[in-house]
Amino acid sequence: MTRQEHHVIPGPGGHGDRDVVVHGHWGRPVIWFPAETGDAWEFERNGMLDAVRPAVDEGRITVFCVSAWNAQSWSARWKSQHDRALAHLDYEGWLTGGVLPFVRDRCGGRDDVALAGPSMGAFQAVLLGLRQAHLFHRVIAFSGGYDPWQWHAWGEGSAETYLTNPSDFLRHVGGEHLEHLRRSLQLTLVVGSGQWEDTTGALASTRSLAAVLADKGIPHDLHVWGPEWPHDWVSWRAQAAVYLPQLG
């Protein structure tokens, strides 16, 4: 029987409490981001826990499922892109200032916390890894889109929109920051080539991000699954069963 816990951590920007559901008793901690507006129970509800249960029950990984904040940030179409980026930075502050200390305490002080998620959760994992590579050194992303300006964006660009857009800032990274990413971070990008991977932009965006990572010499792997794998949970279950256990 997989050990499961539910915890509540004060939410980003002081906007109420947010849920964290923990699956497992030992092993490398993995913060799992849900797809778009999903909650902390989405991982189990969509069969992801069953897909990786052997690795969880064997104590190879412990999965910390967080609630999304995209309804207040990237999916809030009434907000300008600048305001969406500000809301995202509140969420990032919650992750680094609230969730990460909790994860480390729960796992005996381990500092090898990994990040993972599907769709918009993949974006969250990649962005946090790139921005906070001193805290997170491993990212696994499934079917992500990595340019927030493609999400019904409007308004003027700003420093905040730039710094929360990996498709933009990564192209200009250089110097010591680039060397730090090369030393510290390893990304695994996974995407299918089936239904909706094209219309969501995930396939093109994943390939584009991988090309920039290659150009910058940032360690990464790109895995493009075949046309039978859509932008959907059936793919993410199969892919997670392959790649998440490798973390342990």
Say yes or no to pLDDT of 196 above 80: yes
Average per-residue pLDDT for the chain: 95
Report the pLDDT averaged over residues 142-147.
Answer: 98
Edge-first strand listing for the sheet containing 28-32: 4-10, 17-23, 61-66, 28-32, 114-118, 138-142, 186-191, 220-224
Amino acid of residue 223: H
**Helix and strand element counts for the chain (H, E):** 10, 8
pLDDT at 206: 98
Q: Which value, in Å, is the radius of gyration of the alpha carbons in the chain?
A: 17
Report the pLDDT averaged over residues 132-138.
Answer: 97
pLDDT at 2: 72
Residue 228's pLDDT band (cuts 50, 70, 90): very high
pLDDT at 64: 98
Q: How far is CA 198 from CA 136, 137, 142, 223, in A?
A: 29, 29, 14, 16
pLDDT at 17: 84
| 44 vs 70 pLDDT, higher one | 44
| 245 vs 16 pLDDT, higher one | 245
pLDDT in tens, 116-134: 999 999 999 999 999 999 9
> Which strand (E) or helix (H) includes residue 61?
strand 61-66
pLDDT at 182: 98
Amino acid of residue 239: Q
pTM of the model: 0.96
pLDDT at 1: 62
pLDDT at 204: 98
The Cα 199–Cα 15 span in angstroms is 33
With tokens 């794998």, the residue in question is 229
DSSP H stretches of helix in the chain: 42-45, 48-57, 81-94, 100-106, 120-131, 159-163, 166-169, 175-184, 202-216, 233-243
Say yes or no to pLDDT of 65 above 70: yes
Say yes or no to pLDDT of 139 above 70: yes
Report the pLDDT averaged over residues 17-28.
Answer: 94
Domains of the chain: 4-247 (3.40.50.1820)
pLDDT at 36: 87
pLDDT in tens, 69-121: 988 999 999 999 999 999 999 999 999 999 999 999 999 999 999 999 999 99
Strands 61-66 and 17-23: antiparallel
Say yes or no to pLDDT of 222 above 90: yes
pLDDT at 10: 85
